[in-house]
């Protein structure tokens, strides 16, 4: 997914937010995995990139 498409999805989501409680849990799972992928030496990057992309797509749809 291109950077421009990601930005457009974020902006569209801000206009019509999805306020379900389940969304909170999904965001927490995404940010936890993102943090580990970026900063934890023991967390494998190649295995998590695809998972992060899928989780992000779920959040912005």
Tens of pLDDT, residues 2-51: 889 888 988 888 887 666 778 889 999 999 999 999 999 999 999 999 99
For position 30, what pLDDT does the model report?
A: 97
What does pTM read for this prediction?
A: 0.66
For position 51, what pLDDT does the model report?
A: 95
Q: Enter the tokens of residue 15.
A: 């206009």
In this structure, what is the dihedral angle of CA atoms 27, 32, 37, 42, given to the nearest 10 degrees? -160
Domain limits, the chain: 3-60
């Amino acid at each position: 997914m291109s950077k421009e498409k990601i930005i457009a999805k974020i902006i569209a989501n801000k206009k019509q937010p999805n306020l379900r409680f389940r969304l909170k849990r999904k965001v927490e799972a995404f940010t936890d995995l993102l943090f580990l992928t970026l900063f934890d030496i023991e967390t494998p990057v190649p295995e998590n990139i695809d998972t992060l992309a899928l989780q992000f797509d779920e959040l912005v749809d």
